[in-house]
Structure 1
Amino acid sequence: MSRTATALLALLTLLLPSPNRRTLALAFAGVALCVASYLLGIYSNNRPSIAPQLSPTPGDCHPLLLPSPSSASSDGQLGFLPLHSAAAAFPVDQPPLPPLPFCPANFTHYCPCHDPQRERLFPTRDLQHRERHCPDPRDRPPRCRVPLPPGYRAPLPWPASRDRAWFANVPFPKLSVAKKEQNWVRVEGDWLVFPGGGTSFINGVKWYVTEMAKQVPLRSGEIRTVLDIGCGVASFGGHLLDYDILTMSVAPRDVHEAQVQFALERGIPAMLGVLSIHRLPFPSRSFDMAHCARCLITWTGYNGLYLLEIDRVLRPGGYWVLSGPPINWKNMYKGWGRKRQEVAEEQKAIEDLAKRLCWKKVSEKSAMAVWQKPTNLLHCMKKSKTLNSPPFCLRTDPDSAWYEKMDTCISPLPKLEVLEHTSGGNLVNWPKRLNATPPRLLARSIERITIENFNHENKLWSERVLHYEAYLSNLPRGKYRNIMDMNAGLGGFAAAVSKFPVWVMNVVPVDNKNDTLGIVYERGLIGTYMDWCEAFSTYPRTYDLIHANGVFSMYMDKCELISIVLEMDRILRPGGAAIVRDHIDVIVKVKQLTDSLRWQSRIVHSENGPFHPEKLLIVDNSVQ
């Protein structure tokens, strides 16, 4: 209480008759406490609020009265504190925005940065037309909501979703007809059924993975993150989950249409992508294994450009698995309808390139071959001239991968002195890897991030996720399978929700001061780089829950916030949920935008309580 207020209280206490002194003192103290609480809540981060001051009503104390886990009603539902609704607690000085309309029906499967109409503007050589080509904001992209396909239904919960999906949700008969003979997918009534077959999975994907486990240590926890290039409908990645292995399945939008959408509809991690002229949007040393099953990529073409990219994203000691042509060509070429000499030369070229990269061939059985990347490059550097190895990349950061062109050079590894050591440090096996200190932190390779920060973040996100559960009771019950963290940081949120039957796409915005995606991968998690002024490389209705921590503050001076909200709406499944975490000023603005999309949302306190400026916008579109 200020000196002036204290002096005034003392004077009034002396002047008034004694029976009234105690009442007045209590009343004055209450008013002073309310004013102090209000000012503390608004100015605690030294920034003025955009919310106008409220005219206090009788009994009012703090204007930021919100729904709270402690205010649960007798029926177990979260209640509101009695004096204000969320709307009254956080008034805005502008009238409500008009509702945003739905786009025309032909936008049902709209992918802004992978639009087949825009693809025609780019050369087909090197598959450049299949890469990301986002609309120019100056062209005023349509500001409308992507509509549902007719007959859309809520997807099956995991793990039932791995084997079947509603045809109405991904109504692409072309893929099911084209791949029916290969046993990829078939239509049974209202269902799409995924038996786990495929071009290279003649005996089923389960058999295929079992055979792979005889050549690669899938069961030990050494392999946790896998990159599957040309993934089809991602049955391979889906069945690696039985081994507690997380696969980033990547495929372009091609003649088979929505392969990635099929994968995500089934609850399997996937995103649109292609090996063309730009690096894949992942840091170096990300994956324990890379896989290609009959993906028809010219691995030795363009001076080995594509295999050099695989080398960049493979961790030291990681595995590359190639199945299908030209592997085991002596026994298979007739069935492929290929000429003997042609496939023989193709495999010889792959073997030669792998040797020049210092990869060691581990095995070749049936139609599957396995190579292993060296744990460091000391031995390779000594023999590089003899092997005629590609030069080492000197001009670019190996982790730089957002619209960064590939180059025909070997990405360097962290330096070391001892031949027996692993460049960048050893990773512990899964599941200990999740909470072990990542080697990048041990090496202090990221400025301003320490081991202490990492441990603090883990504890902090465990507390935050526990707080989230009070508002999204379905989080631990398996309703949300596909989750996106729009600003993943060190992966603390994903680690905290890993106790649930979910997977998380950890996104590290390219606008971040620190590139932490390498740490995310070293924890045994997956993710990608992203600029949220653009659209994500996925189909509509592919995520059940979106988490946005500080994203809107990061981008409010870079692009229109409504474009980010519309992208979230495009990605989010009907009935899905979102958690927006930000400063109250920003949250109020975002609430206006979500109201224009008819989202069911409310502003609540974070776990820091009513006097902290950071608030949450909880979106639960299952509430009607």
Structure 2
Amino acid sequence: MQIWYYNVPHTKLAEIKGHQNWVKVSGEYLTFPGGGTQFKHGALHYIDFIQDSLLDIAWGKRTRVILDVGCGVASFGGYLFERDVLAMSFAPKDEHEAQVQFALERGIPATLAVMGTKRLPFPGYVFDVVHCARCRVPWHIEGGYFVWSATPVYQKLEEDVGIWKDRKPTSNECYNQRTKNEPPLCKESDDPNAAWNVPLEACMHKVPEDESLRGSNWPEQWPKRLESPPYWLKSQVGVYGKPGQEDFAADYKHWKNVVSQSYLNGMGINWSSVRNVMDMRAVYGGLFGMYHDWCQSFNTYPRTYDVLHADHLLSVVKKRCNLVGLVAEVDRILRPGGKLIVRDNVETITEVESLAKSMNWDIRMIYSKEGEGLLCVQKTMWRPKEAELITSAIM
């Protein structure tokens, strides 16, 4: 696995972690041998060791979506693709330089984040496994596993053993029988699914025992999980107003038709060259989902996505903030040659087309019918010259 050196011109990790096979400089490339601080025999050996040690993990069947906390260069997440598992990797921007940028450049889902003062932008009870190398963030679905890989794991100190042998319970029995309420249980009013800009609290949420609630049951095994409406939608009204599970099925069928009949062949996109795709308003879609307010910048590095997709998002966002700022953020995120696909009302499509032309982007496709429009634009290598910037600033 290799990337162009000049796309991510950082060598510090290669210098200080080269003996651990994190990343190496090889001419014009950076190569990733699959090693890591905890992966002395390589990431695949480590992944198989976890499976052999705990058969219930069942990579690619029972376990499909995991969170890799403090991911390093995300070799763990990258090699999990071979086991049919999707890993969302995150790490801070620290002395290790561009860890997340290394991940995204190789096509591994990753985001910049820190578990410090606010919750991560994910709802509760959504990950099958949380993997954590040298960190302390036990946070996952009921019955899921917290895999803490670090030096303290191998010690026999009572405090450490009590941590690394833990599995998240499937009922509240152990919480109710505790002699000390430490850490305390969260207040009933504290919603575990409230995750956007919510301060962290030193408390634990009760396990949802009502079978109509999300997180009370394990989801279907993969790949059946992909097409099966979640059990907890039975008790809810869907996003589009139908009963939840009916809404989910209709949405899945709609997008399956759109992708197969329009996007795959009608956009002029060479999908074999596309890896990093973000649906900016996924609703039921997508296999990873996080909360984000598009009036704010997105936590990622510049030029890391190949395709961005916005379905009736921009017309909503522009009511609260400047559409120019959002398009500028899209420009920052997309690679040169990357595509933006917009589905929205004709008025918004016209505005986005005008902004794209002002940046010398190529209009690859535009279509409208009965007030609705579809636009596909491609970012180019163009950048304004210094004289143009000065003139624009004066005007």
Using the size of structure 2 for normalisation, the TM-score is 0.89
* One-letter amino acid of the structure 2 residue matched with residue 212 of structure 1: I
- Give the aligned partner of residue 434 of structure 1: 226
- Give the aligned partner of residue 107 of structure 1: none
1:604 to 366, 371, 374: 366
Mapped to 2, the partners of 1:196 and 1:585 lie a distance apart of 49
Mapped to 2, the partners of 1:283 and 1:582 lie a distance apart of 27
- Give the aligned partner of residue 619 of structure 1: 377
Identify if the C-alpha distance between structure 1 residues 319 and 603 changes in structure 2 by more than 3 Å, giving closer, same or farther: same
Mapped to 1, the partners of 2:329 and 2:25 lie a distance apart of 31
Q: Does 1:260 align with 2:260?
A: no
Q: Does 1:487 align with 2:325?
A: no
Mapped to 2, the partners of 1:380 and 1:219 lie a distance apart of 28
2:235 to 443, 467, 471: 443
Residues 413-435 of structure 1: CA deviation (Å, up to 9, x unaligned):
334389xx995333110010001
Mapped to 2, the partners of 1:603 and 1:422 lie a distance apart of 40
Mapped to 2, the partners of 1:261 and 1:325 lie a distance apart of 26
- Give the aligned partner of residue 279 of structure 1: 119
Mapped to 2, the partners of 1:535 and 1:263 lie a distance apart of 20
1:189 to 15, 20, 27: 27
- Give the aligned partner of residue 51 of structure 1: none
Give how far 1:603 is off.
4.9
Identity of aligned residues (%): 41
Which structure would you say has the larger Rg?
A: 1
Mapped to 1, the partners of 2:78 and 2:179 lie a distance apart of 42
Residues 565-607 of structure 1: CA deviation (Å, up to 9, x unaligned):
11111110111111011000110011111111111125523xx
Q: Which moved more, 1:228-237 or 1:466-475?
A: 466-475
Identify if the C-alpha distance between structure 1 residues 406 and 623 changes in structure 2 by more than 3 Å, giving closer, same or farther: closer
Pairwise CA RMSD: 2.3
Mapped to 2, the partners of 1:462 and 1:319 lie a distance apart of 32
Mapped to 2, the partners of 1:198 and 1:221 lie a distance apart of 26
Query: Do the aligned partners of 1:289 and 1:321 also contact (CA within 8 Å) in 2?
Result: yes
Mapped to 2, the partners of 1:578 and 1:453 lie a distance apart of 27
Q: Tell me: higher relative CO, structure 1 or 2? Use CA pairs within 8 A at least 6 residues apart.
A: 1
Name stretches of at least 5 consecutive residues in structure 1 with no aligned partner. 1-162, 300-305, 331-343, 355-368, 495-524
- Give the aligned partner of residue 12 of structure 2: 174
* One-letter amino acid of the structure 2 residue matched with residue 324 of structure 1: A
SS in 1 for 2:20: coil
* One-letter amino acid of the structure 1 residue matched with residue 262 of structure 2: H
Mapped to 1, the partners of 2:71 and 2:205 lie a distance apart of 25
- Give the aligned partner of residue 361 of structure 1: none
- Give the aligned partner of residue 393 of structure 2: none
Residues 118-140 of structure 1: CA deviation (Å, up to 9, x unaligned):
xxxxxxxxxxxxxxxxxxxxxxx
SS in 1 for 2:339: strand
1:292 to 112, 132, 145: 132
Aligned pairs for 1:363-374 (under 5 A) are: 369=164, 371-374=166-169
1:225 to 38, 41, 65: 65
Give how far 1:621 is off.
3.9
Identify if the C-alpha distance between structure 1 residues 389 and 579 changes in structure 2 by more than 3 Å, giving closer, same or farther: same
2:325 to 547, 552, 563: 563
Give how far 1:388 is off.
5.1
Mapped to 1, the partners of 2:310 and 2:104 lie a distance apart of 20
- Give the aligned partner of residue 149 of structure 2: 323
Q: Does 1:541 align with 2:303?
A: yes
Query: Do the aligned partners of 1:215 and 1:370 also contact (CA within 8 Å) in 2?
Result: no
Query: Do the aligned partners of 1:200 and 1:323 also contact (CA within 8 Å) in 2?
Result: yes
- Give the aligned partner of residue 237 of structure 1: 77
SS in 1 for 2:61: coil
Identify if the C-alpha distance between structure 1 residues 292 and 488 changes in structure 2 by more than 3 Å, giving closer, same or farther: same
* One-letter amino acid of the structure 2 residue matched with residue 195 of structure 1: P
Mapped to 2, the partners of 1:553 and 1:370 lie a distance apart of 49
Give how far 1:440 is off.
2.6
SS in 1 for 2:178: helix
Residues 353-386 of structure 1: CA deviation (Å, up to 9, x unaligned):
x5xxxxxxxxxxxxxx553212232x22431346
Query: Do the aligned partners of 2:267 and 2:364 also contact (CA within 8 Å) in 1?
Result: no
SS in 2 for 1:527: coil
Aligned pairs for 1:28-427 (under 5 A) are: 163-216=1-54, 217-219=57-59, 221-294=61-134, 297=135, 299=136, 306-307=137-138, 310=139, 314-329=140-155, 344=157, 348-352=158-162, 354=163, 369=164, 371-377=166-172, 379-385=173-179, 390-416=184-210, 424-427=216-219
SS in 2 for 1:587: helix
Mapped to 2, the partners of 1:236 and 1:417 lie a distance apart of 33
Mapped to 2, the partners of 1:223 and 1:236 lie a distance apart of 15
Name stretches of at least 5 consecutive residues in structure 2 with no aligned partner. 383-395
- Give the aligned partner of residue 389 of structure 2: none
Query: Do the aligned partners of 1:218 and 1:243 also contact (CA within 8 Å) in 2?
Result: no
* One-letter amino acid of the structure 2 residue matched with residue 617 of structure 1: L
Identify if the C-alpha distance between structure 1 residues 409 and 623 changes in structure 2 by more than 3 Å, giving closer, same or farther: closer
Query: Do the aligned partners of 2:143 and 2:169 also contact (CA within 8 Å) in 1?
Result: yes
Give how far 1:463 is off.
1.6
Give how far 1:176 is off.
1.7
Give how far 1:389 is off.
5.4
Query: Do the aligned partners of 1:250 and 1:270 also contact (CA within 8 Å) in 2?
Result: yes
Residues 450-476 of structure 1: CA deviation (Å, up to 9, x unaligned):
21111111111112112122333435x
SS in 1 for 2:273: coil
Residues 90-145 of structure 1: CA deviation (Å, up to 9, x unaligned):
xxxxxxxxxxxxxxxxxxxxxxxxxxxxxxxxxxxxxxxxxxxxxxxxxxxxxxxx
